[in-house]
């Protein structure tokens, strides 16, 4: 006989289960899914699991410290919340809740161009400015205006996403009617919404407005979501190229980080273009399926850059142990995407905060058992030999 126990969430997987219970199916799958057959999505996590650490003993780890310096700030650990589109649909005013949780734990929050809450709303809710993520739009006037708003809200770090000249194919979104504005799509979504009454009241009704806050001034009627989405789809600019980085560099006085670099040659190009850092990323396996996992690409990219540019990594980080492995292979920090989305959907601000604290604790314990006390001491020697690329 099966019994249901009420558990206290202890890791990402627990929050994922909670999120699955709360969210309408199309939203859960939007977060959870990847591109095409999801090979890269799977590899991102599996390749972390394959790496083996080395246990060291009798190292006096009584003064353990997970703090680090990243882009001019002291963080409680080398981790940032990745930009996620539409987080205001995962929970009521979701970006604000997640940004508050990040601030409480002492790590940055990144706001997506296509967040539900505008940069001003997030700014008003927090003392620390967030990082801002930009997708290039055809209307460069709109981009300039967006950057001005981010600057006015105190943002000092821009993540410019370079791995989405076109949107990847996400089969779960097709099946769930996410991309179908006709009657079949409406019927599919309505059926799923009817099965999520808690979300419907808490987020669907009480969490309005649901338009993309950073872009609402660009369309005549932001509450007309179909027209809004059509405008946005037409705005994504597939002609974006390295020349735009030079243009962007002139527009943005703060730190400029290129997000979505996967190959050593592109990392070197980012260096030449004057970027201040890169996020080694395959968009969480949501763009080109069958590309390599990010953790498997890290040694090659780190070796090409040879310390000349900070590397953040995302894709598949699910624990403090994974964070330690990424640092050991040459990253200066990581971003987490789905984990914070699941925690937010499952338990709101408190959930994100609890998850972040659990990750920090896992990192501290893993450091101690590997015999290191400070982030700067983490290097490839913590891994079994022959795994450093
Ligand atoms: C639901 C969802 C929405 C996302 N939206 C954005 C976005 O708006 N901008 C962006 O640069 N990346 C976006 N990403 C990619 C994340 O920033 C990040 O690269 C990825 O989630 C990392 O992988 P992980 O989910 O395995 O941690 C999104 C990812 C997910 C799962």
Q: Residue 166: how many CB atoms within 10 A of its CB?
A: 9
For range 364-380, the mean pLDDT? 98
Active site residue 283: yes
Domain 12-171+233-377 CATH class label: alpha beta
309-330 burial code (b ≥16 CB/10 A, e <16): bbbbbbbbbbbbbbbbbbbbbb
Q: How far apart are CA 50 and CA 205, in angstroms?
A: 44
- Per domain, the residue ranges of the chain are 12-171+233-377
More confident residue, 221 or 379: 379
Please tell me the predicted confidence (pLDDT) of residue 3.
55
- Token couple for 305: 């850059």
Pick the catalytic residue: 123, 198, 210, 283?
283
Question: Whose CA is closest to atom 21 on ligand 1?
Answer: 337
- Token couple for 368: 């101690």
Handedness of CA 3, 5, 10, 14 (dihedral sign): positive
- 181 pLDDT tier (thresholds 50, 70, 90): confident
On the question of pLDDT at 30 being above 50, the answer is yes
Ligand 1 center to 275 CA (angstroms)? 20
The dihedral over CA atoms of 46, 52, 58, 62, expressed in degrees to the nearest 10, equals -30
On the question of pLDDT at 1 being above 50, the answer is no
Tens of pLDDT along 204-262? 999 999 999 999 998 877 777 777 777 888 888 999 999 999 999 999 999 999 999 99
Ligand 1 atom at shortest distance from the alpha carbon of 259: 11
- 327 pLDDT tier (thresholds 50, 70, 90): very high
Please tell me the predicted confidence (pLDDT) of residue 345.
98
Question: Whose CA is closest to atom 4 on ligand 1?
Answer: 84
Question: Whose CA is closest to atom 5 on ligand 1?
Answer: 84
Please tell me the predicted confidence (pLDDT) of residue 387.
74
């Amino acid at each position: 006989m099966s019994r249901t126990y009420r558990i206290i969430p202890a890791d990402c997987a627990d929050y994922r289960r909670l999120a699955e219970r709360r969210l309408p199916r199309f939203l859960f799958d939007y977060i959870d899914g990847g591109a095409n057959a999801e090979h890269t999505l799977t590899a991102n996590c599996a390749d972390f699991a394959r790496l083996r650490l080395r246990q060291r003993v009798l190292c006096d780890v009584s003064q353990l410290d997970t703090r680090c310096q990243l882009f001019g700030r002291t963080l409680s650990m080398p981790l940032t919340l990745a930009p996620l589109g539409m987080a205001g649909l995962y929970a009521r005013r979701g970006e604000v809740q997640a940004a508050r949780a990040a601030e409480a734990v002492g790590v940055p929050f990144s706001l997506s161009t296509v967040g539900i809450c505008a940069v001003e709303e997030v700014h008003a809710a927090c003392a620390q400015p967030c990082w801002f993520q930009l997708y290039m739009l055809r209307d460069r006037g709109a981009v300039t205006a967006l950057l001005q708003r981010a600057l006015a809200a105190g943002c000092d770090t821009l993540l410019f996403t370079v791995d989405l000249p076109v949107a990847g194919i996400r089969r779960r979104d097709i099946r769930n009617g996410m991309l179908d504005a006709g009657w079949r799509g409406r019927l599919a979504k309505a059926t799923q919404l009817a099965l999520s009454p808690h979300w419907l009241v808490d987020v669907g009704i009480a969490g309005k407005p649901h338009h993309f806050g950073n872009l609402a001034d660009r369309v005549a009627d932001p509450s007309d979501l179909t027209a809004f989405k059509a405008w946005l789809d037409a705005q994504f600019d597939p002609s974006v190229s390295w020349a735009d980085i030079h243009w962007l560099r002139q527009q943005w006085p703060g730190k400029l980080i290129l997000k979505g670099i996967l190959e050593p040659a592109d990392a070197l190009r980012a260096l030449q273009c004057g970027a201040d850092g890169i996020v080694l990323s395959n968009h969480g396996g949501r763009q080109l399926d069958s590309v390599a996992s990010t953790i498997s690409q890290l040694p090659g990219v780190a070796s090409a850059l040879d310390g000349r540019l900070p590397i953040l990594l995302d894709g598949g980080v699910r624990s403090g142990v994974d964070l330690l492995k990424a640092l050991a292979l040459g990253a200066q920090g990581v971003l987490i995407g789905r984990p914070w989305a699941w925690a937010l959907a499952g338990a709101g601000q408190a959930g994100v905060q609890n998850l972040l604290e659990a990750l920090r604790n896992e990192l501290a314990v893993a450091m101690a058992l590997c015999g290191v006390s400070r982030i700067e001491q983490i290097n490839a020697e913590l891994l079994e030999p022959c795994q450093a690329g």
